[in-house]
Amino acid sequence: MQQVLKLYVNNTMLEVDKMLEKCGDFNRQQLIMLLLSSLINLLSALHDISYAIVYTVPKHWCADGLGSGPPPPNADECKPFYTNSSTSDSCKEYNYDHYMGFQSFVSEMNWICDKAWKEKLGNYVAHAGLAIGSPVMGYLSDRLGRVPILVFANVMTILDNFLTIFGISLELFCVVQFITGFVVISNFSIICIIIVEYMRPSLRTVCLSICYGFFLCLGMIITPWIAILLGSWRRFMLLEMLPIILIPFFFYFVPESVQWLISRQKYDLAIESLRRVAKINGRQIDDSVYEEFIEDCKINQKNTKTNPNLLHLFRMPRLRRTLLILLFEFFICYFYSNIVNYRYEVEISPFVFISLTATAVLPSSLAAIVLQDRIGRKGLAFTIVILMCIFLLVSGVVFSSTANRSRRVLVTFYVIGSFFHNLALGSNTLYSLELLPTCIRGQALGVLATMALTAQICPYCIFDMCQIFLLPEILVGVLALLVAGLILLLPETLDRTLPCSLEDGEQLGINDHWYTFRCMEKRTQTEELDSSLAPQNQM
């Protein structure tokens, strides 16, 4: 027992993985965690998509002087159909063509035409909450723990829905939207962190892809039709709120991340979590093993920072370079997504559009499972960026003629473009989590989310850029090639343990070369083994 731990006495992060392996790194505890994480991802899909559903703007027209029937052919959306010198140009009453009978928040509040700015204001406030909340919630998850912040984020989600249902003033609406944006990313990011920090390295891709791909896809497919079945935004938000009440019970089933506890030097709590994992997984481990493990951790963490933050990362040259490359990569991936959404916009119901978008999520996750453990994290990240660049240029040429913009062709290209984006998002999230040290992993992921939000602003520039032939595609294509070159400077993380401290992250892959990939290393090792065995076979 002691010999196994002594193998890695000079590397704390390997000791954590080895200790988790002894307690069970894919057993009952991990299966429970994966099930609960998948449930949260399913509920997160309902909550994330709810904005597009609850605040959808149905077809409408001014009803002043008209009956309740269909509108006249020339009816205006915002002005009365019959006007004269004695009537006003402003509309007082509207009729709506609700899609399959679903009444949205916007139609109930009449936030259209001259009041449409109210909903847009709420959207801007939500984006502000997202920009502030992502790094703040990440910082809190690094300081206070993964599980408490995950539960807090879901409790705030319940409060959001409650206030939206029972309070409809503009001021309260803006407050709710800010809170929603503040916590919305935390569900996804913290779940990913917990899965990566508790699963064995060889199963991280599979578990993360199942949790993200299958259940997020399921949530995106069923959510619009659940809303239509309920018929009202209030009933939909109430139904969405009820299952989230169960999330606080996460405390009772999932122990705090051992990786995080070790990084914070909370050794007693780390032992408690390890004992809990071992008990649930049916493993018997001597107390002396825990004691020796903690002693080795203390020795290796003598010179590490006790309370590091993201600013300390920028003092580490290799980690600083890694984070800057990841920020650039996330920006390009989301900029690419915005171009796809803008170029291939199809005039269909938002309910159908959401389900259509989901068709690209599951295949992208399956592709990640097949490819990411075969060609490596760096190899897949490099390949995706190149494919995105090729797709943009090909699609730009295809749609340079208006004759090619049929609905079927638009939908086909949209699904293909979304496939590449989802593949990039899922694989790069795992790659980023494995590159960034445990002690600042939440903060760094929050900053990456903020950078993705920055790319969301770019559609306002795309409209003007699209007046010039293929300018957006050429611009993003050139930047994507630059990102692909920078990715080659990142270390490979396949089958490597997670860096725990800033020092571990700085040393991760320090002997890697820019031109080597994990798939090439495996082939080289096999050839060397065959060549060494050849003389023996001849004898």
Helices 116-144 and 170-198 pack at an angle, to 10 degrees, of 40
Is residue 80 one of the residues assigned to a domain?
A: no
371, 287: one domain: no
pLDDT value of residue 214: 84
Residue 480: is its pLDDT beyond 70? Answer: yes
Is residue 538 one of the residues assigned to a domain?
A: no
287, 309: one domain: no
Residue 124: is its pLDDT beyond 50? Answer: yes
Share of the chain above pLDDT 90, in %: 20
363, 424: one domain: yes
Cα separations (Å) of 60 from 76, 80, 121, 393, 462? 9, 12, 21, 38, 28
For residue 434, the tally of other CB atoms under 10 A from its CB is 21
178, 215: one domain: yes
Distance (Å, whole) CA 392 – CA 377: 23
**Binning pLDDT at 50, 70 and 90, where does residue 75 land?**
low
Residue 397: is its pLDDT beyond 90? Answer: no
Tokens standing for 367? 């592709």
Most confident stretch, 42-46, 155-159, 240-244: 155-159
330, 363: one domain: yes
pLDDT value of residue 135: 92
- On whether the CB atoms of residues 111 and 424 are closer than 8 A, the answer is no
pLDDT value of residue 400: 67
279, 308: one domain: no
Identity (one letter) of the amino acid at 384? I
Residue 459: is its pLDDT beyond 80? Answer: no
**Owning domain of residue 176:** 7-64+95-264+266-300
154, 191: one domain: yes
**Average pLDDT along the chain:** 81
Residue 8: is its pLDDT beyond 50? Answer: no
Residue 315: is its pLDDT beyond 70? Answer: yes
Residue 15: is its pLDDT beyond 70? Answer: no
398 vs 382, higher pLDDT:
382
| Side-chain-facing half-sphere of 196: CA atoms under 13 Å | 33
The secondary element (H helix, E strand) that includes residue 362 is helix 361-375
Q: What's 77's DSSP letter?
A: S
Tokens standing for 508? 């991760």
Distance (Å, whole) CA 128 – CA 182: 8
Q: 62 φ, ψ to 5°?
A: -70, 130
Name, in order, each residue with C-beta under 8 angstroms of 73's C-beta and a sequence gap of 6 or more: none
Out of 254, 285, 300, pick the residue that ends a domain: 300
Cα separations (Å) of 526 from 273, 377, 519? 39, 20, 11
Mean pLDDT of 5-9: 38
pLDDT value of residue 253: 83
pLDDT value of residue 381: 93
- What would the pLDDT profile of 336-389 be if each residue is shown by its tens digit? 888 887 776 667 778 888 888 888 888 999 999 999 988 889 999 999 999 998
Mean pLDDT of 100-111: 86
525 vs 468, higher pLDDT:
468
- What would the pLDDT profile of 48-58 be if each residue is shown by its tens digit? 788 888 888 88
pLDDT value of residue 525: 41
473 burial via Cβ count (<10 Å: 0-12, 13-18, 19+): buried
- Comparing CA positions, the residue from 284, 285, 287, 293 lying closest to residue 261 is 293
Is residue 70 one of the residues assigned to a domain?
A: no
Q: 510 φ, ψ to 5°?
A: -65, -25
Tokens standing for 530? 């065959």
Distance (Å, whole) CA 30 – CA 444: 25
- Comparing CA positions, the residue from 381, 488, 374 lying closest to residue 433 is 381
pLDDT value of residue 526: 37
Residue 291: is its pLDDT beyond 80? Answer: yes
Helices 471-487 and 317-343 pack at an angle, to 10 degrees, of 150
- On whether the CB atoms of residues 165 and 191 are closer than 8 A, the answer is no
> What's the helix, strand, coil split of the chain in %, to 5?
75, 0, 25
Three-class SS of residue 219? helix
pLDDT value of residue 327: 94
Residue 164: is its pLDDT beyond 90? Answer: no
pLDDT value of residue 430: 92
- On whether the CB atoms of residues 56 and 206 are closer than 8 A, the answer is no
292, 326: one domain: no
Compute CA 279 distance to the chain's CA centroid, rounded to the nearest angstrom.
32
Distance (Å, whole) CA 277 – CA 266: 17
Q: What is the domain count for the chain?
A: 2
Is residue 84 one of the residues assigned to a domain?
A: no
**Binning pLDDT at 50, 70 and 90, where does residue 44 land?**
confident
Looking up residue 166, the CATH number of its domain turns out to be 1.20.1250.20
Tokens standing for 22? 């002894």
Distance (Å, whole) CA 304 – CA 237: 46
Residue 466: is its pLDDT beyond 70? Answer: no
Three-class SS of residue 70? coil
Angle at 352 between CA 449 and CA 470, to 5 degrees: 60
- What would the pLDDT profile of 227-244 be if each residue is shown by its tens digit? 899 988 889 988 888 777
- Comparing CA positions, the residue from 254, 266, 268 lying closest to residue 301 is 266
pLDDT value of residue 136: 94
- For residue 232, the cross-strand partners are 103
**Binning pLDDT at 50, 70 and 90, where does residue 320 land?**
very high
403, 288: one domain: no
pLDDT value of residue 82: 63
286, 327: one domain: no
**Binning pLDDT at 50, 70 and 90, where does residue 454 land?**
confident
Is residue 528 one of the residues assigned to a domain?
A: no
Identity (one letter) of the amino acid at 32? I
Out of 252, 285, 300, pick the residue that ends a domain: 300
Task: Please report where in the chains the tokens 């070790």 appear, as a residue.
Answer: 262
Residue 489: is its pLDDT beyond 90? Answer: yes
Q: 535 φ, ψ to 5°?
A: -60, -35
Distance (Å, whole) CA 498 – CA 504: 9
Is residue 89 one of the residues assigned to a domain?
A: no
Mean pLDDT of 114-124: 86
Residue 184: is its pLDDT beyond 60? Answer: yes
- For residue 95, the cross-strand partners are 61
Is residue 531 one of the residues assigned to a domain?
A: no
278, 344: one domain: no
pLDDT value of residue 448: 93
Q: Report the range of poorest mean pLDDT among 22-31, 64-73, 422-431, 442-451.
A: 64-73
341, 433: one domain: yes
Identity (one letter) of the amino acid at 328? F
Is residue 450 one of the residues assigned to a domain?
A: yes
pLDDT value of residue 440: 93
What pTM does this model have?
0.87
Most confident stretch, 77-91, 237-251, 512-526: 237-251
- On whether the CB atoms of residues 3 and 22 are closer than 8 A, the answer is no
Angle at 231 between CA 226 and CA 235, to 5 degrees: 75
